[in-house]
Amino acid sequence: MNYLFLVTLFPLIGAVLLAIFRRMPVNLAATIGVGSIGLSALTTLALALQFFGNDQTAFVQHLWTWISVEAFEVGFDYRLDGLSLTLLGVITGVGFLIHLFASWYMREDLKDQVDYLYTRFFCYMNLFVFSMLVLVLGNNLLLMFLGWEGVGLCSYLLIGYYYRGEANAWAAFKAFIITRVGDVFLAIGMFLIWIQFGTLDIQTVIAQAPEVMAEGTLLTEVTALMLLGGAVGKSAQLPLQTWLADAMAGPTPVSALIHAATMVTAGVYLIARTHVVFELAPFTDELVGVLGLLTLLIAGFSALAQTDIKRVLAYSTMSQIGYMFLALGVHAYGAAIFHLMIHAFFKALLFLASGSVIISCHHEQNIFKMGGLRKKIPLAYACFVVGGAALSALPIVTSGFYSKDEILWLSFANGHTVLWLGGLAGAFLTSIYTFRMIFIVFHGKPASHASEHAHAPQGIAHHLPLLVLIVLSTFVGAFITPPLSNVLPETEVTASHALQISLEVLSSVVAIVGLGIAAALFLGRRRFVKGLVESDEGAKLWQFFNSAFAFDAIYDRLFVKPYLAIARLHRYDWIDKLAGIFPGLVKLGNSAMSASQNGQLRSYAATFVLGALVIVAALLVS
Amino acid sequence: MNLTLTHLFALLPLIIVGITVVVVMLSVACRRNHFLNATLSGCGLILALLSVFWVQCSDHGSQLPTLVSPMVAVDSYSLFYIGLILVAALACIVFAYAYFDRLKVHREEFYLLLLCSTLGAMVLVSAVHMASLFIGLELMSVPLYGMAAYIFKRQQSLEAGIKYLVLSAVASSFLLFGMALLFAAYGELGFAELGLKLVSVDYLDTWTIIGVGMMVIGLAFKLSVAPFHMWTSDVYEGAPAPVSAFLATVSKVAVFAVLVRFFILAPTFSVKLHTVIAVLAVLSMLTGNLLALRSHNIKRLLGYSSIAHLGYLLTAVVVLRSGVSDGAGELSESGQLVLEATGVYLVGYVLTSLGTFGVVALATHADSANRDTSELRGLAQRRPVLAVCMAFMLLSLAGIPLTAGFIGKFYVLALTVNGELWWLAASVIVGSAIGLYYYLRTIVELFLPTDDATVTAANGRGQALGALVVVIAAALTLWIGIFPEPIITMVNSALPVGL
Amino acid sequence: MIAQYWAVTVFVLATLALLAFMVGAASVLGGRSWGHEKNIPFESGILGAGSAHVRFSAKFYLVAMLFVIFDIEALYMFAWAVSVREVGWTGLIGAAIFIFILLAGLVFDARMGALDWVPKKSEHIADQARHESF
């Protein structure tokens, strides 16, 4: 397995090549950009085969010593175990499909926006994959943090890919700054771990945690809380969730790869990796589940009132990651990672399909201006139906059913009844907003010129990823079982099998009822919904949901405005003034001296003699 | 005493330069050919440089140090500085060739003047006697007036020459008066003899101190130490760039070397005198840096910067107050450090000054009146090699690590700390801080884009050779900055006679 | 310290006082007459003729300077002349070198045209003028 490093090397080489030869032909850029991820995916496949043939033993590759300052030693080590292999598969596999799709999408997209460089997109994308792989493979918290920051950077760069639009730049800023808040928490968490353990090696920390950290003490709680802070920032969970919806300003494949399938799930990975620390901190442990639940509900309600197809998907992503956090909170780590993987499949499918719809409708993103697309772009419709079904966890045939119901079942079985009930409500909402979107977009009559003249996309690079992801989103995807038994603890369930079946039936019923309600409300002429929205209270509620519970406004009042006020207050900083004294003095001296350089010989001679006189006088006076 | 072959052999570098003067003069009389005469001059200097090595290394080397006469001593100290002067003069000849090649004046006499001045500088660093000091100084200075005013059709150049002439005469009178006072007090003119008398008396009377003080004033003018610095920028600006290079290197090195030799051989343990010198040093550092701050003329800026650098260097003389020999004819530790610092600093200073003035000489028009830094703007586009060298040289002048300038400044700081001269150390640091501003500003200027299409790159062997010299200077600066050991060893072996 | 030199000080002060007395007393005591003739510059009873700003040819100064230079350098020969027997061959060689350098300088000056009373260019014009007049 010594070729483990190759997985990260290929995307890095791709990124470097694309960064250097910026003006290469589009076909070559696509080949390099997609090919590097393809090679990486093949390497992952080989690794996986060897891993399973090798009895699933973890493998550590020491590449070089990165930092070595006295006792502080950080190796550039990769670790391959069940958890990292699962994510490796998702990142390279789904990543490859998304890259392939992107090679088609960006070509179509840049037909209208000719000023943007094709190579720049793939350069950032490859760099992102590299960073994400380092994040997942890093055997050291600091190395993981390198990847963590790398993906943050790439996310920023790609959200702001269309940098000529001001809103896009602000969206990029917003994503970068808010995730940075989380990153600071994570950094503090790392410092605390270093203080307690004297190492940042993840495996050592996991092994020594029970001895080093006392359960439930303040220090332990704070450490776990800081790690959680990092996780919620990256994964767009309450209270750092506001950036994700705006991040949709980036190209759609970016939303699929970074803001749905991989980066935003890094928080889930982090908590799963360091679950030992969380188990020693009961309060924070509880908080993980509660935050997940709150986020999934808030995001669910918000998704109900969105008009932008990508924003609907963004809130659904938030909500699905809420499920993963909920799973983490009830110690169903395996279920969380399983849902992470399944979610990557169907959410990537949905995003790519939405990209396909957007291109078909000539860059129209408002769902109320689409409508009746079912017959014009049947493939996208199929994608949406299968992906939406998986998202709503319709029973038996979809993959989402298996992963989400496992979470709900385990939360119930572990005694978190409130979380279970909330999750059930979330499932209900999910199914409503998902089919609301599908019905509005694909059924009814064309609502605008753009949707009337929609054209079906062509090409293998467009079809293949969608078809593969459709297959993976059905029950077929659920056959892939992540090899987590050696890494994460199995959840012990004491409740009976019959109870599980009845609960699964219950949640299936909930999902189907949701589907029915969506059909009742949004198929046909939507008279009820219109009436509701047009009433006073209804409009307010709609506004409230549309703005995602007005978090942006609250944060603006609470943080942005006071911060700007303080900044304005410090514009005329007295310390700055104090520091300005020396240059001022120097300038004064310069002016005084320059005046003496008048170019007149007589004044030079006079100065000379005067100086000599002073010196002689000084020597004379004893 | 009799002049033997040994003595003549020791004087070989001086003799060769003297012969070169006559040969070039006759050659100019026969045939006016710029290339031929410049080459002849250069060959003479190269021969002299080779003879320096020969004298240093030959069997006769065991007879070093040689007092050729009571006036001139050829010892390892003078040979080291003669070598440095010859290298600088050679570089100046190369720059002058490139500079004057485009000019339609009588160009050949310039080399005569330059050679004479070089000869004077060589005499100066070998001087161990007031008379040879004066002869050397004047032989060096008088041709310089002519050189400064060489492009007399340009008013600035003429003005520079006359300013330098008048003020230099004033300074010489102070120097002579100081010598006269010392002679009146002790009846001796040789440094060493004077030193013996000075050491033997318990109490230095006021006239002695004033005499030494006046000599310091006279020499301080040549070193452009504040408050005798006023001429510097005007002359540097007005004179042709190769002359400025010569002024900044050869004349400074020679005068400083003889100043240090005088203070070593004839030590005056007067706290008062050394306090005055320290004040001069501080004044120079501050004045030079302050004046350079907003100067937008590259030659003026370099002139001001040389004021500051001589200020830094003058700390070496201040430190000499604690005495250089322990009485048994051995150099004391601080005296050793002073010689080391002086040598290393001067080598670095000469290399960087040659580089910077060389770039100015190569990259600017000889006949254009304004020599703003804006003329160097965009140099990186036109002459990337020169621009990079220039940037590196400016970094060296600013004392950034990995350059010879840093090693020199480090030595100066070590001197001040060793001598517990805290306020000198403080002003060195303040001066460097101010200096950084305008050096970096000039570097920025080099790399700014320019839309001035009129400035075209000049071609020709002179330009190519000049660029080669600049590159070599930059390479040496870097080499010394990274690996100063050989230069330090060389400097350490260069001890003045009588120790 | 100044006290040591009180005698010098008294001497200087006395001189100044005496001068002041002589000038002052003369101006107070003597009679004076005014007139046009009184204001004419006056040298040994001969009246000045013409302006003081007479323009000499620059060549005059050049030749004068060259004369002074060679004259002063020739003075060094006296030092050799008085000790010609004592310094022997070494002295002769030294003097010969010295004279050779002087000679070289002279050759140089001559070649540069420093010794020509009329510059080459003007001479040419003068020649032409002479030819035309014939």
Stretch (H or E) spanning C39: none
- A589 to chain B: which residues are within 8 Å by CB? 286, 290
pLDDT tens for each residue of B179-231: 999 999 888 899 888 888 887 877 788 888 899 999 999 999 999 998 899 99
Three-class secondary structure assignment of B361-423: HHHCCCCCCCCEHHHHCCHHHHCHHHHHHHHHHHHHHHCCCCCHHHHHHHHHHHHHHHCCCHH
Q: Which of A151-160, A506-515, B2-11, B434-443 has the lowest mean pLDDT?
A: B2-11
Contact in structure between B184 and B173 (CB atoms under 8 Å): no
CA angle B190/B194/B199 to nearest 5° reads 155
- Bridging pattern class, strands B73-74 and A72-80: unpaired
- Determine whether the interchain pair C101/B28 forms a contact, defined as Cβ–Cβ distance below 8 Å: no
Q: Which of C90, C104, C112 sits opposite B26 (nearest CB)?
A: C104
Give pLDDT, residue B492: 86
Asked if C104 has any chain B CB less than 8 Å from its own CB, the reply is yes
CB < 8 Å to C104, chain B:
22, 25-26, 29
Q: What is the C-alpha to C-alpha distance for residues A248 and A167, in angstroms, rounded to an integer?
A: 11
Distances (CA, A) of B273 to A308, B130, B207, B215, C95: 85, 19, 12, 12, 44
Per the domain annotation, does A583 fall within a domain? yes
Closest residue on chain B to C90 (Cα): B3
CA A532, A534, A537, A538 torsion-angle sign: positive
Chains touching B by CB (3 or more pairs below 8 Å): A, C
Q: What is the pLDDT of residue B214?
A: 93
Cβ-Cβ contacts under 8 Å for B483 (sequence gap 6 or more): none
Q: What does the alpha-carbon distance between residue B76 and residue B84 come to, in Å, rounded to a whole number?
A: 12
| Contact: B29, C108; criterion CB under 8 Å | yes
Taking all residues of chain B, what is their mean pLDDT, rounded to a whole number? 87
Within-domain flag for B28: yes
User: B2 vs chain C: nearest CA distance in angstroms?
Assistant: 10
Bigger pLDDT: C130 or A219? A219
- Residue A98 reports pLDDT greater than 70: yes
**Cα distance from B96 to chain A (closest Cα, Å)?**
26
| Bridge partners for B72 per DSSP | B127
Predicted local confidence at residue A562, as pLDDT? 92
In whole angstroms, give the CA distance from residue A390 to residue B205: 106
Average pLDDT score over residue span A307-311? 89
CB-based contact C1 B206, cutoff 8 Å: yes
How many cross-chain Cβ pairs, B to C, lie less than 8 Å apart?
20
pLDDT, chain A, mean: 87
Predicted TM-score of the model (pTM): 0.64
Of B3, B29, B206, the CB nearest to C111: B29
Nearest CA in chain B to A610: B227
Phi, psi of A125 (to 5 degrees): -65, -45
pLDDT of B323 over the 90 cut? no
B409: left (phi over 0), alpha (psi -120 to 50) or beta: alpha
Cβ of A608 within 8 Å of Cβ of B163? The answer is: no
How far is residue A403's CA from residue A321's CA, in Å, rounded to a whole number?
12
Q: What is the pLDDT of residues A9-18, one digit of tens each?
A: 999 999 999 9
- β-partners of residue B26 are none
Which among B3, B22, B206 is the nearest to C104, CB-wise?
A: B22
Distance from CA of B87 to the nearest CA of C (A): 26
Write the pLDDT tens digit of every residue in B459-479. 678 888 999 999 999 999 999
- Contact criterion met (CB < 8 Å) for A603 and B230: yes
- pLDDT exceeds cutoff 90 at B393: yes
pLDDT of residue A211: 87
CB atoms within 10 A of CB A66: 14
Cross-strand partners of A79: A60
d(C-alpha A101, C-alpha B397), whole Å: 57
Those residues of chain B whose CB sits closer than 8 Å to some CB in chain C are 3, 22, 25-26, 28-30, 206
Q: In total, how many domains does chain A have?
A: 1
Residues of chain C neighbouring B22 (CB-CB closer than 8 A): 100-101, 104
Residues of A in contact with B167 (CB under 8 A): 601, 604-605, 608
User: CB-based contact (8 Å) between C108 and chain B?
Assistant: yes
Residues of chain B positioned with their CB less than 8 A from the CB of A622 = 206, 272
ipTM given for this complex: 0.91
Q: Given the structure tokens 């008085």, which residue do they identify? A: C82
Q: Is the dihedral of CA A609, A612, A618, A621 positive or negative?
A: negative
Instruction: Indicate whether B499 belongs to any domain.
Output: no
In whole angstroms, how far apart are CA B349 and each of B310, B345, C7? 9, 6, 52
> pLDDT band at B326, cuts 50/70/90?
very low
In 3D space, the residue among B107, B55, B114 whose CA is nearest the CA of residue B79 turns out to be B55
3 state DSSP class of B223: coil
Contacts of A11 (CB under 8 A, 6+ apart): A36, A37, A40, A126, A127, A129, A130, A133
C29 in B contact zone (CB under 8 Å): no
Is A611 within 8 Å of B228 when comparing Cβ atoms?
yes
A390 is a domain residue: no
Q: Each residue of A371-386: pLDDT tens digit?
A: 778 888 888 889 999 9
Q: What is the mean pLDDT of residues A129-136?
A: 93
Give the H or E element holding residue A69. strand A59-69
Instruction: List the domain range (segments joined by +) for residue A583.
Output: 573-620
**CB-CB under 8 Å, A604 with B163:** yes
A215's torsion region: left (phi>0), alpha (psi -120 to 50) or beta? beta
* Residues belonging to chain B with any Cβ–Cβ distance to chain A shorter than 8 Å: 162-163, 166-167, 170-171, 174, 206, 209-210, 213-214, 217, 221, 227-228, 230-231, 233-234, 272-273, 276, 280, 286-287, 290-291, 293-294, 434
**C5 at B interface, C-beta within 8 A:** no
Mean pLDDT lowest among A173-182, A278-287, A451-460, B348-357: A451-460
Is the Cβ of A585 closer than 8 Å to some Cβ of chain B? no
The partner residue sitting opposite B291, judged by closest CB among A587, A590, A605, is: A590
Residue span of the structural domain in which B457 resides: 16-492
Residue A454 forms part of a structural domain: no
Report the C-alpha gap between B311 and B322 in whole angstroms: 19
Query: For residue A219, is it within any domain?
Result: no
Q: What is the DSSP string of A197-266?
A: HS--BHHHHHHHHHHHSPTT-HHHHHHHHHHHHHHHHHHT-TTS-THHHHGGGS-HHHHHIIIIISGGGH
Quote the minimal CA–CA distance from C110 to chain B in Å. Answer: 8
Distance from CA of B430 to the nearest CA of A (A): 10
Residue A609 within any structural domain of the chain? yes
Which chains form contacts with chain C, at 3 or more CB pairs under 8 Å?
B
Q: Does A595 touch chain B (CB under 8 A)?
A: no
Q: Cβ B291–A597 below 8 Å, yes or no? A: yes
3-class DSSP state of C75: helix
Residue partners of A90: CB distance under 8 A and separation at least 6: A261, A262, A340, A341, A344
Structural domain total, chain B: 1
Percent of chain B at pLDDT > 90 equals: 53
Count of A–B CB contacts within 8 Å? 73
| Chain-centroid distance, C-alpha B448 | 32
In this model, does residue B144 exceed pLDDT 60? yes
Identify whether A384 is part of a domain: no
Domains in chain C: ranges and CATH: 2-47 (no CATH), 58-133 (1.20.58.1610)
Please judge whether B26 and C1 are an interchain contact, meaning their C-beta atoms are less than 8 angstroms apart.
Answer: no
Distance CA A342, CA A402 (A): 9
Q: Which of residues 504-523 of A touch B (CB under 8 A)?
A: none
Asked, for residue B497, whether it belongs to a domain, the answer is no
A527-565 pLDDT per residue, tens? 787 777 788 888 888 888 888 888 888 888 988 899 999
Residue A453 binned pLDDT confidence (cut-offs 50, 70, 90): confident
- Answer yes or no: are the C-beta atoms of A364 and A444 closer than 8 Å: no
Whether residue A107 contacts residue A34, with contact meaning beta carbons closer than 8 Å, is answered with no
Give the DSSP letter string of A468-507.
HHHHHHBTTGGG-----TTTSPPPP--S-HHHHHHHHHHH
Say if C111 is an interface residue toward chain B (CB within 8 Å).
Answer: yes
Residue C58 in this model has a pLDDT that exceeds 90: no
- Centre a 10 Å sphere on the Cβ of residue C50 and count the other Cβ atoms it contains: 6
For an interface test with A, give the residue of B156, B293, B300, B301 to mutate (most A CBs within 10 A).
B293
What is the rounded distance in angstroms from the CA atom of residue A489 to the CA atom of residue A471? 30
The beta-carbon neighbor of A589 closest among B206, B230, B290 is B290
Q: Which residue has the tokens 């318990």?
A: B202
| Residue B453 within a domain | yes
Instruction: Please tell me the predicted confidence (pLDDT) of residue C53.
Output: 79
pLDDT at position B2 is 62
Pick the residue from chain B with its C-alpha nearest to C104: B26
**SS3 of B497, please?**
coil
Q: Is C101 near chain B, with CB under 8 Å? A: yes
Residues of B in contact with C108 (CB under 8 A): 25-26, 28-29
Residues on chain A touching B293 (C-beta within 8 angstroms): 586-587, 590
Distance separating alpha carbons of residues B496 and B11, to the nearest angstrom:
16
| Cβ separation B272–A587 shorter than 8 A | no
